[in-house]
Amino acid sequence: MPFGAKDRGEGGDLLIRVVSSVLEELIATPTQNGDEAAPITKFHGLRAPSIGVSDYLVRISKFSGCSDECFVLALIYIDRLITKRRIVLDQLNVHRLLVTSVMLAAKFFDDHYLDNQHYAAVGGVPKGEMNVLELEFLFLLEFNLHVTRADYDMYRTALHAKFEGTIPPRHFLEDPYSDEPATKDHRIKQQRQPDMHYASTQIHQPFAGHPPVQHVNNGWKDIR
């Protein structure tokens, strides 16, 4: 198995599909920010990457080695940018926002996580740019990566409800902050099954134990 690869099982695969569905529908919603002009940020590229949001998130999921909870946290962080910083998701910024938010979630929540160079290789951005994006994201969040248990449970419930088809696909933040921190007891407990196969998102690994830096198929190593 390639360096950093993770078998998430059926529950993790379902989570990734629902999160990607939420993000795709947010991108398709032109009124995320009302009538205000969308700000251009450091997360915007000159052109949309050739890989879609769903496949990109699957790639991050497969090769980041982070816990499932990080994808819920990443969605919360992105929603904070939408609601508090008036950032509008589109095809030019969602990829960089995704890889940066997952990396920060892993650093904040997981006991063990991979470094910026690895996430840069997985996300298809240069390491130097990955460092800049990390710092920019932190400043936009005012360095607040804390998520309360109430917030985390609300997002998990909303994602589950979306999977069941009982709520409309919008972002869920209602800002119900409390002083109770989220804990690692909040795991998405699902029976583990083999990963779904996505041939277009495999890293060609030159040799065991080395980060996947060089060989990525389909020509989307660099998403700039």
DSSP states of 18-37: HHHHHHHHHHT-TTTTTTSP
Q: Give a yes or no: residue 223 inside a domain.
A: no
Quote the pLDDT of residue 72: 96
Tell whether 65 is covered by a domain. Answer: yes
Whole-number pLDDT of residue 212:
37
In a domain, 194, yes or no: yes
Task: Give the pLDDT score at 173.
Answer: 39
Q: In this structure, is residue 144 part of a structural domain?
A: yes
Q: What is the model's pLDDT at position 29?
A: 77
The contacts of residue 66 (CB under 8 Å, 6+ apart) are: 6, 102, 105, 106, 110, 113, 114
Q: Are the CB atoms for 188 and 69 separated by under 8 Å?
A: yes
CATH of the domain at 20: 1.10.472.10
In the prediction, which pLDDT does 77 show?
Answer: 97
Residues 6+ apart with CB under 8 A from 103: 64, 113, 116, 119, 130, 134
Tell me if 90 is assigned to some domain.
Answer: yes
Q: Is residue 4 part of a domain?
A: no
- The helix (H) or strand (E) run that includes residue 169 is none
Total domains present in the chain: 1
Query: By C-alpha distance, which of 65, 195, 70, 77 is closest to 133?
Result: 77
CA 15 to chain centre: 11
Give the per-residue pLDDT at 216. Answer: 35
Q: Is residue 145 part of a domain?
A: yes
**For the chain, how far is it from start to end, CA to CA, in angstroms?**
28
Task: Name the DSSP letter for residue 217.
Answer: G
Q: What is the mean pLDDT for each group of 10 consecutive residues in the chain (224 residues)? A: 56 89 86 64 92 95 93 96 92 96 97 95 96 97 95 92 64 39 37 26 29 36 56
- Our measurement of the distance from residue 69's CA atom to the centroid of its chain's CA atoms, rounded to an integer in Å, reads 11
1 in a domain, yes or no?
Answer: no
Asked whether 9 and 192 are in contact (CB, 8 A), the reply is: yes
Whole domain around residue 193: which residue ranges?
9-218
Question: What does the pLDDT read at residue 208?
Answer: 29
Report the alpha-carbon distance of residue 21 to residue 130 in Å, rounded.
25
pTM passes above 0.85: no
Contact 169, 17 (CB under 8 A): no
